Amino acid sequence: MTGISERLLSIICCPACKSDLDYDKKNSRLSCKGCKKVYEIKDGIPVLLT
């Protein structure tokens, strides 16, 4: 199963601007609500490197 848990999603935030992240389930990505930066999810782990 791919994807990340709601719990994990609730504790992480954008490393660039500290805004909440939106989980794009279909594309398995996270997008920032603030700066619109997109982060990939690899093996269930969000890649939050800038």
Nearer to Zn ion by C-beta: 16 or 47? 16
Type of residue at 47? V
Site for Zn ion, rule CB under 5 A = 14, 16-17, 19, 32, 34-35, 37
Nearer to Zn ion by C-beta: 32 or 41? 32
Least distance from Zn ion to the Cβ atom of residue 4, Å = 17
Nearer to Zn ion by C-beta: 35 or 45? 35
DSSP assignment of 1-50 equals --S--HHHHHH---TTT---EEEETTTTEEEETTT--EEEEETTEE----
